[in-house]
Chains A and B, each alone.
Chain A
């Protein structure tokens, strides 16, 4: 008993700096930001409280509303795109093909790149005067059009395309690891029953990969909220508001526009959004773990 408490003490001491950092750096700055969002701060913090004025301004801003819509479209397509493509790639590699490790490296390689590099590469490729469109036209197909990054209606999908290209490899690796953990017996049994391969993947393998894919999905979803660098590199929010995202809106107002109050109001809404999205999920987990305990 005595030694246990002693060990607890040393553990607590060791954790203190981390606790300090968590409380002061994360929670502290969060509350500071929330406080700022109720002031009329511009370049420097002010203590002149203006109530919800910044929030009213925020939700009257066409740019902010567009950014919310964009991050929603981007988030749904990016996460689901990565999961589907990643799973398909994993399934393909799982077929014991030749040069598996070479393919695995190739597919995972994009993930090692920064979003800035990914963004720039795709921006060049999708730019009508430099990239794929110009090359195809110079080959003789004069009416070929691929102008996603400069097209208002398609720009957000260009971001999705680049994002999926980069993120699918991660899902593939996680899914492949999960597949390799599945016993060979199941395959043998399914074969004997004469079940087609695609059916085995959909009905037998996929359900068992649930936790692995959920983890991958969570990782990607966290990236969505922070989406910033790929947008800056690829479209800088344009054309118009068509690829504006909340993180960029906040950064622009924080620095270029010297509008601390509005920027922190946006940041607060973002935090609130994450809390609202995560809370039901956590609650479901909590209920499930309670139920599991009850069953035991």
Chain B
């Protein structure tokens, strides 16, 4: 099998070599990403601008939706026509590619740039595989956020950010009474899993969360935590509108931006949409960590560097990695995307109030990894199925739901 694969790759590399025979003297990179919404594209543009300033040529192959982008990327890898760079999360998602020897390490660059000092240790570990650095981290996102429209809260008469789930639901009732859609719900499996996770963290705490997802613990406390999570999740069903099924996250964000809806559960990339719409954090919209949470779920993006067998592309990859890790780029990127910079040595005063809150939690270590970092893609899919089925079936049976949750890890 290995030989056929080699033969296959060799043949593919050969065609690739012929395909790019017209060599260009500038380092050219083709980047595949799923960053296509307003804020995301603006953030990617920060990297692009700097990359071009340093003499690079940028070819954008963005595809909307990370599922679609991943599929296209895998197709290109298997076909031996790997792009020069791919945006993806850190952690287990890239592990298979690295272990198959399909990625270029950037260890020497990381050593020269002293990445180990500039990055938090947990992040540095997650971009290293078998002791070598492979990924260039762009920014971290908090995923425990509840964004709310100040205008809607005012209209409904909600003075303070709710501290507990009971207060939260009381607030949703007020929004409903005021004729506002209480929750802007994005009814896609991945979004629902994020809400599930942020509620779970609020119920089991940081240690409990790590126990469930990393140690795959099925003890009584874990089951009870999942049960309580499902109860809260089930209660939310009454507060979403009819059009929620299948809605994109940025469409849901638009509902909050226009004041049509009260709150949205989402990662902080949603801030990018607010920024593009000219809204300011803390003034037009508020951000709070999900009620009763002792920390925050986070996910971190990075740039992957597939092996293309082309020395020119290798050079371009090095340049891109340098650009991505540049302190100024890290900051500007995060401001546009709504994320928190990966480097701990950047100027924090430019960040908005939400990012500062997030950064506080990160530096305090009150963070837990998103499922994509600690679970295999197969398990991530099963988690999506589980949450989606519970949500859309309208089931009230949280107890038996909690039992079947742990089948994900089998």
- A residues within 8 Å of B by Cβ? 42-47, 62-63, 123, 127-130, 133, 147, 149-150, 152, 235-236, 238-242, 251-253, 255-259, 262
Residue from B187, B246, B377 within 8 A of A258 (CB atoms): B377
* Residue among B97, B244, B385 having the largest count of chain A Cβ atoms under 10 Å: B385
Q: Give 6 nearest A-B pairs by CB, closest first.
A: A129-B243, A240-B392, A255-B71, A150-B245, A257-B381, A128-B242
Question: Which secondary structure dominates chain B's binding surface?
Answer: helix
Contacts of B380 in A (CB 8 A): 257
Residue from B1, B5, B243 within 8 A of A127 (CB atoms): B243
Binary per-residue interface labels of chain B (1-23) against chain A in the complex, 1 for a CB within 8 Å, 0 otherwise: 10001000000000000000000
User: Considering only CB atoms, which chain B residue lies closest to A43 in the complex?
Assistant: B96
Q: A43-B96, A238-B245 are in contact. Are A259 and B392 (CB under 8 A)?
A: no
Number of residue pairs A-B, CB distance < 8 angstroms: 91
- B residues within 8 Å of A by Cβ? 1, 5, 67, 70-71, 74-75, 96-97, 100, 187-189, 241-246, 376-378, 380-381, 385, 388-389, 391-394
Please determine whether B245 and A255 come into contact, CB atoms closer than 8 angstroms.
no
Contacts of B246 in A (CB 8 A): 123, 149-150, 235-236, 238-239
Please determine whether A257 and B378 come into contact, CB atoms closer than 8 angstroms.
yes
Please determine whether B70 and A236 come into contact, CB atoms closer than 8 angstroms.
no
Question: Which secondary structure dominates chain A's binding surface?
Answer: loop
A42 vs B71: C-alpha distance in the bound complex, in angstroms? 14
Please determine whether A150 and B71 come into contact, CB atoms closer than 8 angstroms.
no
A258 vs B379: C-alpha distance in the bound complex, in angstroms? 10
Q: A45-B1, A152-B393, A238-B388 are in contact. Are A258 and B243 (CB under 8 A)?
A: no
Please determine whether B245 and A149 come into contact, CB atoms closer than 8 angstroms.
yes
Contacts of A236 in B (CB 8 A): 188, 246
A63 vs B407: C-alpha distance in the bound complex, in angstroms? 14
A240 vs B377: C-alpha distance in the bound complex, in angstroms? 19
Residue from A62, A123, A256 within 8 A of B381 (CB atoms): A256
User: Considering only CB atoms, which chain A residue lies closest to B72 in the complex?
Assistant: A255
Contacts of B393 in A (CB 8 A): 152, 240
Return B73 CB to nearest CB of chain A, in Å.
9
A152 vs B389: C-alpha distance in the bound complex, in angstroms? 11
Please determine whether B381 and A240 come into contact, CB atoms closer than 8 angstroms.
no
Return B31 CB to nearest CB of chain A, in Å.
19
Q: A44-B96, A45-B1, A47-B1 are in contact. Are A129 and B242 (CB under 8 A)?
A: yes
A152 vs B390: C-alpha distance in the bound complex, in angstroms? 12
A253 vs B243: C-alpha distance in the bound complex, in angstroms? 27
Contacts of A257 in B (CB 8 A): 377-378, 380-381
Please determine whether A63 and B385 come into contact, CB atoms closer than 8 angstroms.
yes
Return A254 CB to nearest CB of chain B, in Å.
8
User: Considering only CB atoms, which chain B residue lies closest to A252 in the complex?
Assistant: B381
Q: A42-B376, A150-B246 are in contact. Are A258 and B96 (CB under 8 A)?
A: yes
Please determine whether B5 and A256 come into contact, CB atoms closer than 8 angstroms.
no
A258 vs B67: C-alpha distance in the bound complex, in angstroms? 11
A45 vs B270: C-alpha distance in the bound complex, in angstroms? 37
Q: List 12 contacting pairs A-B, 8 Å CB cutoff, sorted by A.
A: A42-B96, A44-B100, A45-B1, A62-B389, A127-B243, A149-B245, A235-B245, A240-B389, A255-B75, A256-B377, A258-B96, A258-B376
A129 vs B378: C-alpha distance in the bound complex, in angstroms? 34
* Residue among A44, A133, A236, A253 having the largest count of chain B Cβ atoms under 10 Å: A44
Contacts of A128 in B (CB 8 A): 242-243
* Residue among B97, B378, B380 having the largest count of chain A Cβ atoms under 10 Å: B378
